[in-house]
Structure 1
Amino acid sequence: MEMEKTHKIYVIGHKNPDTDSICSAIAYADIKKRLTGKEYVAKRAGQINEETRYVLNRFKMEEPGYLSDVGTQVKDIEIRETQGVKSGISLKKAWNLMKTNNVTTLPITQGNKLEGLITIGDIANSYMDVYDSTILSAARTQYMNILETLEGTMVVGNEHSYFVKGKVLIAAANPDLMESYIEEDDLVILGNRYESQLCAIEMKAGCIIVCEGAPVSMTIKKLAEEKSCAIISTPYDTYTAARLINQSMPIKHFMRKDELTTFKTDDFTEAIKDVMAKKRYRDFPIIDKHGIYIGMISRRNLLNMQRKQLVLVDHNEKSQAVDGIDEAEILEIIDHHRLGSLETFAPVFFRNQPLGCTATIMYQIYNENNLEISKQVAGLLCSAIISDTLMFRSPTCTSIDRNAAESLAEIAGIKIEEFAKEMFNAGSNLKSKSAEEVFYQDFKKFSASEITFGVGQINSMNASELEEIKDKLVPYLKKAYGEQKINMLFFMLTDIINETTELLCYGDNARELVENSFNVTSDNNSFILKNVVSRKKQLIPEFMVTLQQ
């Protein structure tokens, strides 16, 4: 039996998400859910910034859940729900269960926790190994197991008791000879001879097994009760009973319980493949994060694993995508940036428009499908357009963006000028933040001509605040450069009101790239770029052209 899974499709933006990335993911999940009835879920690939948090709180929307990696996990595989068994069941019962369920490994559980494993090979070995005659008592075999294995009935004694002392022997000799080898607590297999039964009981045997369903006289029963000797009757002959009796031993005597190789539902398949390859086992138990046993998987299950399905919004660059993107199945991309480096397994629906914001495209999709936009979603989309276009000041902004924002503001019941001021102030309230938090608030990586560079950006309506942020950031750039393993690093301190950016740079040839791209000079690693406010439309294209030359 396979585990039932509800299939989710994740809608996700880029790492270090901005307001557009988060709000567009929420909106598109809403659109797709309403159009298809499928379970589309908005996610985020990084921590949200203060501006976005303000927007979500303002419109009473929940923050999307964090998805750090979209690689295939154990929970994406078909997990066989092989039922756990108790450690006290007999080898014979375990063998029959394996044959019935067509499995080679049985998990042994106590409550919901995994106690050990037994394989078909372990059982075969238990039959082939030559044991001495005390193995049945050494394994602490319950009489109930012996009854089940020999299809017997308990004539005298308690089936819940255990055979814990003595050896197993067959009474084939005459009573005189029996006396010399039967010892106290032994289990004696014998036939219907009254003298042999009497002798075994007199010698203080722990249990006698009477074969071929032979009747047991009242005298023998009475004597057995007095001497605390159990009597089991079996329809099998002496040879068969002797051959089968070891199969009544409990599996806990043979199970493997130390250094078990288990996997958790959240483990990534890339990691477990290597472990599986090094082990000789065919099946591996799966437990959840609370240590509860879930089921079993084999190497074969890895062939049928289901990749996570994604819709990407507001990016199409591999360097900006969530970790594990190569293992996921991308279904759609909705974006407004240049074409990046992502490759897909199959053709995808790709909508890319030269607009100031992905949220504008979301507004269009709502209208194209005659879907009503809720007040909350309208507020989110309007916020995203204001943020991405720097309140229509960015050169990326089109009349389409502006018209969309105005219509959305009306639905959301907000005044754009007032709201923008509140939102940007919330977003640029960075005095309490560390240099690292400020740096990674909106940071993206790009590559061209085998050179990789990163660009971070902070927008503010307050020039003095930008100066404070600069003092905090400059010493941090060296550390960030080392962490990112890139050729060059840039940071845009953008003054929204004055439509100016101070660009900080670090790394080999970073200054030369700025000088050649913008025809500016500086005595240090800081440049003033007038009328430059957009990373996407003004900074990156100039860098790309220079690098390709």
Structure 2
Amino acid sequence: MTMMDQDRNVYVIGHKNPDMDSICAAIAYARFKNLTDKKRNYVAARCGHLNNQCTNYLQAFSIEKPLYMTDAFVHVDDVFVNTDVMLRQTDPIYKLVSIFEDEKYEYSVIPVFKDSKFRTLLTKESIASYFLKVSNAKKREEIFFSQSSWEEGIGGHFLKKGESDESFKALIMIGCMERSEVVSRIRSVKKNGRKIVLITGNRIDTINLAIKEKVDAVIVTGISKSDEAKIKCEGFKGPIFISGGDTSQTIRLLRLCQNVSLLHDEVFPSVKRKTLFEEAKTMLLSKGLKALAVEDEDGSFVGFLTRRNFLFKPKRSFILVDHNEHDQCIDGIDEAEIREIVDHHRFNSEKTTAPIFINAEPVGSTCTIVWELYKRRHVRIDKETATILLGGLVSDTVFLKSPTATSIDKRAYQELLGISGLTEEKLSSVIYSNYRKFEDLDSDRAVSSDFKIYTEKGIKFGIGQVEVVGMPDVMGNPKVQELLQSLEKIRDFQFLSFAMLMVSDAQTASSVLVSTKTRITENLQYAKIRDGVYDMPGVISRKKQLLPELLRALAE
């Protein structure tokens, strides 16, 4: 079976540079969907690393982090085959044949291991290629013999087992000639240092003669129990096997008793699980291969791909929470299926190929919307889920101080607080424990940890936000210059027209805006403190206060 059933897995994911609301909404909504839709498996995911606030909050309440995803593209990991069916190099060829003949085995290749290490993939063509090669050879065929596989592979029983169970390479000699010719041929072969196995029917004289000449093994066909007693096997070191089939059938089955290691005539390159679907497909087709081995990141074998795996390219399925704009989505969303959007921001979403469920409300937090959906469907909210929803709600509304907070947010807060069993003091201590003083900020991290990109009127720009405890005088503060340099770096890296950072003081519910050079700031209704720095008293919402002001300035 493939590692992932594309029809079942749906990833509930927030925006790039995820904040608390994005992370908590993804976790809580994935839980909601799993409770209300048993046909699919909903997985909470993220497309960025957790900031310190998220990490501390999840750890404080022992909540599992969402799955980290680098992109929405289809990877080898989504389509490769992982089967328990495998062979060892020492397994006989007939075992390989029997697997391919089993209707339950639907694949065209079988992995082969030496000890615990992957060696190659074998196909039906591997068997045909080998036997065509040996049948066309001008030299007499030598076969690898291993008595351990004869009873199962040929059918029959041992009159006497050989003293050594090691496999050996030998010529086959059919004992259907005169005694003198038998002796002559045995001695000729042994003189050249080669081993010999006699296969004969019920010819007691020939059998005993071969034993006397010390052939390496004797296989007898068509002999009765009474005649078996006439075989003089005393002192003979090799095996004497009584086949249940005729001579021609026995020779054919002997070839199938050889180790599958003889069939290793093709090299199969390997790809990693994270290799892109199209990249692996190109490798397979351009090199004319039948299959590819699949490795984990540490180089261990995990499965394989055949051409069949590339006949249809699946799509990963997503539910977007706390965002809808393309620039904020996980990379590769264009190639994925968007099933739902749950958000509280302005809408500038991607086109979808089919109608989808959209729940968008002008509330302070996406977690509030998720709370409403639980209520609407009469789904019980447990203590841990309430704690998760609270984290996103109070973080995004700054404990309901933000102008984005509504009466719905306040009702959600009161109900969730009661279910969680937390006090306001405990919740506040966990949320604010990670807030730093302005002077202690790491500039690069402060800019990038909650940075959102927007496109308006052909202008692409980005706004980050960081919360601090206590806002110092920024007029001559050297930290401002560090932040400006970090903003310039992210502006150039993301090919933006300008980049901004809101530094918000949760205690005073005010912010300072730090911005790279842009003419847009000339039209903003905020007092200039110094070059690139603006005072924003009473402004703590990027979504409801700063962004609308920027859009107004862009329109002028």
TM-score normalised by the shorter chain: which range applies?
Answer: 0.7 to 0.9
Output the CA distance in 2 between the equivalents of 1:116 and 1:148: 25
User: Do the aligned partners of residues 56 and 232 (structure 1) sit closer, same or farther apart at CA in structure 2, a change above 3 Å counting?
Assistant: closer
Aligned to 2:544: 537
Determine if the alignment matches structure 1 residue 142 to structure 2 residue 135: no
Letter in 2 for 1:272: A
Kept after mapping to 1: 8 A contact 2:142/2:169: no
Structure 1 letter corresponding to 2:83 = E
**Paired residues of 1:82 and 1:296 also in contact (CA < 8 A):** no
Partner of 1:514: 521
Counterpart check, 1:505 vs 2:506: no
Indicate the percent of aligned positions where both proteins have the same amino acid: 28
1:248 deviates by 2.9
Match for residue 321 of structure 1 among 329, 344, 355: 329
- Output the CA distance in 1 between the equivalents of 2:310 and 2:270: 15
Residue number in structure 2 paired with 1:280: 288
Q: How does 1:339-378 map to 2 (within 5 A)?
A: 339-378=347-386
Instruction: Supply the AA of the counterpart residue of 2:17.
Output: N
Q: 1:335 aligned to 2:335?
A: no
**1:47 Cα deviation from its structure 2 partner:** 2.6
Output the CA distance in 2 between the equivalents of 1:424 and 1:465: 21
Q: 1:179 to 1:265 in 2, by over 3 A?
A: same
Displacement after TM superposition at 1:432 (Å) = 5.3
1:86 to 85, 88, 91: 88
Deviations 1:314-367 (A, max 9, x none): 111222223343343322211111112333343211011122222222333333
Deviates more, 1:474-483 or 1:416-425: 416-425
State the partner residue of 1:209.
219
Task: Give 2:121's aligned residue.
Answer: 117
CA contact (8 A) 1:458 1:493 kept: yes
**3-state SS of the aligned residue for 1:188?**
strand
Alpha carbons of structure 1 residues 359 and 239: separation in structure 2 relative to 1, 3 Å:
closer
Q: Is the 8 A contact 1:52 1:427 kept in 2?
A: no
For residues 208-254 of structure 1, the C-alpha deviation after alignment (integer angstroms, 9 at most, x for no partner) is 333444678568632x4324243333355545544554333211122
| 2:119 aligned partner, one-letter code | E
Instruction: Report the equivalent of 1:156.
Output: 160
Please state how far the C-alpha of 1:182 moved relative to its aligned partner: 1.5
Secondary structure of the structure 2 residue equivalent to 1:226: coil
Say whether residues 1:97 and 2:107 are aligned partners. Answer: no
Partner residue, 1:18: 19
- CA pair 295-55 structure 1, distance change in 2 beyond 3 A: closer
1:196 aligns with 2:198: no
Q: 2 CA distance for matches of 1:97 and 1:371?
A: 48
State the secondary structure of the residue aligned to 1:42.
strand
2:241 to 227, 232, 257: 232
Query: In the superposition, relative to structure 1, how do residues 424 and 176 fare at CA in structure 2: closer, same or farther (>3 Å)?
Result: closer
Question: 1:284-323 counterparts in 2 under 5 A?
Answer: 284-286=292-294, 295-303=303-311, 307-323=315-331
For residue 234 of structure 2, give the secondary structure of its aligned residue in structure 1.
helix
Aligned residue for 1:133, secondary structure, equals coil
- C-alpha separation in 2, matches of 1:19 and 1:135: 70
Equivalent residue for 1:388, pick from 371, 396, 399: 396
Distance in 1 of aligned mates of 2:381 and 2:246 = 81
CA distance in 2, matches of 1:62, 1:476: 31
Amino acid at match of 1:71: F
The number of equivalent residue pairs is 541
The answer to whether structure 1 residue 169 and structure 2 residue 173 are counterparts is yes
Give TM-score scaled by structure 1 length.
Answer: 0.83
**In the aligned structure 2, how far is the partner of 1:401 from the partner of 1:271?**
47
Contact conserved, 1:84 with 1:107, CA < 8 A, in 2?
Answer: yes
Cα separation, partners in 2 of 1:103 and 1:400, compared to 1, 3 Å: closer
- For 1:499 and 1:291, the matched residues in 2 are separated by 52
Greater shift, 284-293 or 17-26, is seen at 284-293
SS of the residue 2:87 aligns to: coil
Show structure 1 runs of 5+ residues with no match.
none
User: What TM-score, normalized by structure 2, do the two folds share?
Assistant: 0.83
- Offset, 1:294: 5.1
Residue 263 of structure 2 aligns with which residue? Answer: 254
> In 2, distance between residues paired with 1:366 and 1:4?
28
| 2:413 aligns with one of 405, 412, 417 | 405
Compared CA separation, residues 340 and 428, structure 1 to 2 (3 A): farther
Alpha-carbon shift at residue 292 of structure 1 (Å): 6.4
Q: Distance in 1 between matches of 2:95 and 2:381?
A: 61
Query: Per-residue deviation at 1:60?
Result: 5.4
Q: Structure 1 residues 464, 215: closer, same or farther in 2, change over 3 A?
A: same
Residues 429 and 363 (structure 1), Cα distance of their counterparts in 2 relative to 1, 3 Å cut: farther
Give the whole-Å Cα distance in 1 for the aligned partners of 2:65 and 2:92: 53
Quick one: which amino acid aligns to residue 190 of structure 1? T
User: Separation in 2 of the partners of 1:91 and 1:367?
Assistant: 62
1:181-212 per-residue CA deviation (whole Å, 9 max, x = no partner) reads 21333112334344433443333211233344
Q: Which moved more, 1:54-63 or 1:481-490?
A: 54-63
Q: Quote how far apart the aligned CAs of 1:14 are.
A: 1.3
Residue 512 (structure 1) shift = 0.9
SS at match of 2:21: helix
Q: CA deviation at 1:464?
A: 1.8
For residues 548 and 278 of structure 1, what CA distance do their matches in structure 2 show? 52
Shift in CA distance, 235/39, structure 1 to aligned 2, threshold 3 Å: closer
Query: Structure 1 426/239 Cα, relative in aligned 2: closer, same or farther at 3 Å?
Result: closer
**Cα distance in 1 between the residues matched to 2:110 and 2:9:** 31
Asked if the contact 1:156/1:221 (under 8 Å) is kept, the reply is no
Distance in 2, matches of 1:528 and 1:431, equals 17
Q: Distance in 2 between matches of 1:531 and 1:433?
A: 22
Moved more, 377-386 or 84-93: 377-386
Q: Is the 8 A contact 1:71 1:325 kept in 2?
A: yes
Matched residue SS, 1:221? coil
AA paired with 2:173?
A: L
Specify which of 197, 221, 228 is matched with residue 187 of structure 1.
197
Query: Is the counterpart of residue 452 in structure 1 residue 460 in structure 2?
Result: yes
| Residue number in structure 2 paired with 1:489 | 499
Pick closer, same or farther for the CA change 1:102–1:512 going to 2, 3 Å.
closer
**Counterpart Cα distance in 2 of 1:286 and 1:220:** 56
- 1:453 to partner: Cα distance: 1.8
CA contact (8 A) 1:514 1:520 kept: no
String of CA shifts for 1:63-92, please: whole Å, max 9, x gaps: 434333343344543736361123223334
